[in-house]
Amino acid sequence: MEDKGMENLEVSVIIRIFARTFETKETKMQEKIIILDFGSQTTQLIARRLRELDTFCEILPYNKFPADDPDVIGVILAGSPYSVYDPEAFKVDLKQFLGRIPVLGICYGAQFISHTLGGRVEPADSREYGRAKLNVADRDCPLFRGFEADSQVWMSHGDTITALPEGFHRIASTENVRFAAYKADEMEVYGVQFHPEVSHSLQGTLLLKNFVVDICGGHQDWSPQNFVETTIAELREQIGRDRVILGLSGGVDSSVAAVLLNRAIGDQLTCIFVDHGLLRKDEFHNVLRDYEGLGLNVIGVDASERFFRDLDGVTEPERKRKIIGRDFVEVFDAEARKITDARWLAQGTIYPDRIESLNITGKVIKSHHNVGGLPEEMHLQLCEPLKWLFKDEVRRVGRQLGMPEHLIGRHPFPGPGLAVRILGAITREKVCILQEADDIFVQGLRQWGLYDQVWQAGAILLSEVRSVGVMGDERTYENPVALRAVTSTDAMTADWARLPYDFLAHVSNEIINRVRGVNRVCYDISSKPPATIEWE
């Protein structure tokens, strides 16, 4: 079970993703690229590209450059929704890094550098938006090493640079943009008005690689193995002989966090796995057995009675979520308090959880229900060893730790479980019906080799709808089940999976023949947006 919410509390603005680590005689150094965030939606994409280049980077707010960090080998000034002339535009003190380490300005970043150093930035005659062909003026420029002629780039800006500051020269243009890219004559300072981070800039990743490797001297040697080694060493140092508790959800994030911690501190870690009764068929026992097989010190708590009692008669989705969230905290809290000498609360928070929780000013814009309040009350410090990683990276780390593939490849599953997949009031009987239908669907996906092709799949019980059917000689009047399977990369958007008709026919037959109370099966063909992945 995936409970991304349990892993969503940290309020830090540093987003450090990848570690290149090497040992010198005395020091351990992590070279890194800093990406300064000016509020553009594509800032995260720059980080994503850098990590594809096996490069450690941190996204920091525009005004939080770590001037005294010796490990910074380069800085990228990212885009912004503002014009440099907007009174509220974000400004950074360039003296902190200009001439000291290589700098790359992207879009607003490029305009800001130019504007601040005495160049001219003006509103473009028409907003530059879309594909353009890049004409590289300086073929020797390392930023464009390996670039093809007329390489396609993606433009998206309202202002444009019309004159460069003194001591800067043009290195590329497009048909409409004279200064599509520039460089300082005497310093490693580059600016591009296009967006190398988006996939429509066909050689954008090459440009970023040229910047990181050739210009900044980066080594591109992040790997799951050195992440594991470095993180274990850091955890040992951070935690010492203290006790740590961790809420397991069955999902890949909390499981990988637990195994990593277990490697670092062994029995000092106690895991708590709460069964709210709304898990998939047999999931509580199967996952508990897996955890024990991994050598984790885990306490399984069956609290289903309490959850069913509190959910009795509740139909409204948000109320269901709130009740489950509150009960979860209380059950977890009661168990955690038994470990009287615990000093740390560990969570499987990953990078996308934090993006949702933070904005550029560092304020929390969304926090999660499940363990909210717990660390403050119990005076526990937070430990989040995966907070720099994306989901696919967590999976790579899990494999590196030797975890079984069925745990690592597990589909996400919502914290409130089947409660948000039963439309209407929840009863134990309905949960049993849905567990059976869901199990047929999910096991079917595995047997047909389709499980790994979808991001997430499950069944939904439309318990407030009844329709007529015929079974043998009998007329039936029962509930339909909807099947939902989606493809996605991050759950922010999703498309319905084009599962083979033969498979859907097989699953439909199996469900109607084997699950009492269900006489009709539908397949959900809505994408997100406008629909969501879950029905409630």
250 binds ligand XMP (CB under 6 A): no
Binding-site member from 414, 442, 445, 485 for ligand XMP (CB under 6 A): 414
236, 240, 242, 245: CA torsion to nearest 10: -10
Shortest distance, position 493 Cβ to ligand XMP, whole Å: 9
Query: Which two structure tokens, joined as six digits, stand for 31?
Result: 């070279």
Please report, for the chain, how many H helices and E strands are present, in that order. Answer: 14, 21
533 binds ligand XMP (CB under 6 A): yes
Binding-site member from 361, 447, 489, 532 for ligand XMP (CB under 6 A): 532
Residue 535, classed as helix, strand or coil, is coil
Shortest distance, position 532 Cβ to ligand XMP, whole Å: 3
Catalytic residue, candidates 2, 197, 384, 478: 197
491 binds ligand XMP (CB under 6 A): yes
Q: 51, exposed or middle or buried, with CB in 10 Å at 0-12, 13-18, 19+?
A: buried
H/E stretch holding 142 = none
Rounded CA-CA distance 479/522 in Å is 11
- Which residues lie closer than 8 Å to 201 by C-beta, 6 or more apart? 152, 153, 154, 194, 195, 207
What number of chain residues touch ligand XMP (CB under 6 A)? 14
Site residues (CB under 6 A) for ligand XMP, limited to 4-33:
4-5
**Binding span for ligand XMP by CB under 6 A among 61-69, 334-342, 392-400, 410-418:** 410-418
> Which residue matches tokens 């990743």?
205
Residue 34, classed as helix, strand or coil, is strand
Determine the residue with CB nearest ligand XMP.
415
Binding-site member from 102, 412, 444, 480 for ligand XMP (CB under 6 A): 412
Our answer to whether residue 383 is catalytic in this structure is no
Shortest distance, position 322 Cβ to ligand XMP, whole Å: 10
Task: Identify which of residues 243 and 528 has a Cβ nearer to ligand XMP in the complex.
Answer: 528
Task: Identify which of residues 416 and 480 has a Cβ nearer to ligand XMP in the complex.
Answer: 416
**Binding span for ligand XMP by CB under 6 A among 37-45, 178-186, 239-247, 408-416:** 408-416
Our answer to whether residue 216 is catalytic in this structure is no
Catalytic residue, candidates 157, 195, 368, 369: 195
- Which residues lie closer than 8 Å to 156 by C-beta, 6 or more apart? 79, 107, 128, 129, 130, 195
Shortest distance, position 311 Cβ to ligand XMP, whole Å: 14
Rounded CA-CA distance 424/247 in Å is 29
The alpha carbon dihedral of 525, 527, 530, 532 has a sign of: positive
Binding-site member from 39, 191, 218, 415 for ligand XMP (CB under 6 A): 415
> From residue 435 to residue 464, what is the string marking binding to ligand XMP with x (rule CB under 6 A)?
---------------------x--------
509 binds ligand XMP (CB under 6 A): no
**Binding span for ligand XMP by CB under 6 A among 182-190, 228-236, 263-271, 409-417:** 409-417
Query: Which two structure tokens, joined as six digits, stand for 81?
Result: 């929704």
**Binding span for ligand XMP by CB under 6 A among 98-106, 194-202, 496-504, 527-535:** 527-535
| Residue in 190, 189, 208 with CA at minimum distance from that of residue 198 | 208
Q: Answer yes or no: are the C-beta atoms of 246 and 265 closer than 8 Å.
A: no
Q: Answer yes or no: are the C-beta atoms of 61 and 103 closer than 8 Å.
A: no
Shortest distance, position 211 Cβ to ligand XMP, whole Å: 34
The two most distant CA atoms of the chain are separated, in Å, by 89
Rounded CA-CA distance 2/94 in Å is 43
Binding-site member from 263, 276, 321, 354 for ligand XMP (CB under 6 A): 321
Our answer to whether residue 197 is catalytic in this structure is yes
Task: Identify which of residues 414 and 480 has a Cβ nearer to ligand XMP in the complex.
Answer: 414
Amino acid at 68: D
Catalytic residue, candidates 2, 58, 107, 188: 107
Kindly list the residues in this chain that would bind ligand XMP in the complex (CB under 6 A).
3-5, 321, 412, 414-416, 456, 491, 528, 532-534
Catalytic residues, by residue number, are 107, 195, 197
